[in-house]
Amino acid sequence: MTAFPRTDPASSVPRRPRRTPRVVPTAVPAAVSALAAYAAVRLTGLLLLCGSAALRDEDPLRRLNGRWDAVWYRRIAENGYGYEARLPDGSVHPDLAFFPLLPGLERLLAAASPLGAADAGLLVAVVSSLVAAWGIYAVGTHVAGHRAGVLLAALWGVLPTGFVQWMAYTESLFTALTAWSLHAALTGRWRTAGLLAAVAGLCRPTAAALLAALAAAGAAHLVVQARGGTPVGRLLRRNGRLLTGMLLAPLGWFAYMAYVGVHEGSPFGYFHVQAAWGNRIDGGAALAGFIWDLLTGPWPSPLGGAGVCAALGLVGALLVAAARQHQPPALFTYACAVVALSLVGAAYFGSRPRLMTPAFPLLLPLAAAMARWPAGRSAAVAATAALASGTYGAVVLLGNGPP
């Protein structure tokens, strides 16, 4: 693969090739093609789900807004925090594990419209997915050009876990906030980046990855300026907006951590809540054990184990490709952090691919490569991927286990 153009020391983002026409990725007309491509692939998945559900005489809407985590968010929207599920084995699952932004929006929308909380959550997810696709396009266009930006938005939609983007889950809302926060950092709008990150911090715990990304981008920016021998005091005064953004960024995440800490009577209260759900950081030991059991356990599944290893290998290959293509520090750090946070915990294995859904910079090397293909070839690959993704999504959503 051809590497992106080298980083411009003045901006810590790749220079745009001179022959590339200037595109303003935040302008609506420029983003229409990306939004249309994204909507087309997700509508394909929705039609496949509706067709499969009709064959089984099931309600597809309930599969999108009335099961698994969506039920927890709806309950918080309707009743606030305080519910605990007590399992037959004696373990307790408190609803404090779920961050407040999505249920807060569900409550506001339900109060202002005829929608119930469940339908409000689905509407938030669908609208957020379009905002996310726009932001992903803007990031891709800024780094690799218009065609790559359009393809990046489409590829995010055809992820195997793309079906959760139109569920009453947080993936789309979080990705929308993250994409625009990263775009703001790439374009030097540090206060906007920090403010969006603060809101994202109220959405889900993996906002820690965004905080790491902004810290890496800010540090890289300051290091480049410090190379000229600028005194520290002058350097800080010159970068007041950057520092303000860095101070704003963690406020939402820390605010919810503090809320749960007060409720639990411990500064590590949120981690205690996660532990009650069986989620704890173990450095990947649980994942390794899961794969080992698939390969050698009492009921081995060599094909399943090989599939998991292949998927992890693909993620690793995409990270290597991103590094070789000199992605800006914010994007590469974010992708690495999301992957790490998805793999180092002892959480339910089936949720790990879903947790990686917001890591859209992983797809940037593929989007940049496809941008050099003939348009018909790119469209054919995207259409095939949309059919495969939609079929997989229908199978998962009509199954018993949570995604």
Cα end-to-end distance, the chain, whole Å: 33
* The one-letter amino acid at 73: Y
pLDDT for residue 2 is more than 90: no
pLDDT on residue 29: 78
Separation of alpha carbons 265 and 256, rounded Å? 14
Regarding predicted confidence, which is higher, 366 or 23? 366
Helix/strand/coil (H/E/C) assignment for every residue in 241-299:
HHHHHHHHCCHHHHHHHHHHHHHHCCCCHHHHHHHHCCCCECCCHHHHHHHHHHHHCCC
Separation of alpha carbons 315 and 258, rounded Å? 33
pLDDT in tens, 319-365: 999 999 999 999 999 999 999 999 988 777 778 899 999 999 999 99
pLDDT on residue 4: 56
pLDDT on residue 313: 95
pLDDT in tens, 82-100: 999 998 888 889 999 999 9
pLDDT for residue 316 is more than 70: yes
pLDDT on residue 6: 45
Regarding predicted confidence, which is higher, 6 or 47? 47
| 94 DSSP β-pair partners | 84
pLDDT in tens, 157-206: 999 999 999 999 999 999 999 999 999 999 999 999 999 999 999 999 99
pLDDT on residue 12: 43
pLDDT for residue 18 is more than 60: no
| Phi (first) and psi of residue 399, to 5 degrees | -90, -170
pLDDT on residue 3: 56
Q: Give the residue extent of every domain in the chain.
A: 7-11+27-397
pLDDT in tens, 142-166: 999 999 999 999 999 999 999 999 9
pLDDT in tens, 287-313: 888 888 888 877 778 888 888 899 999
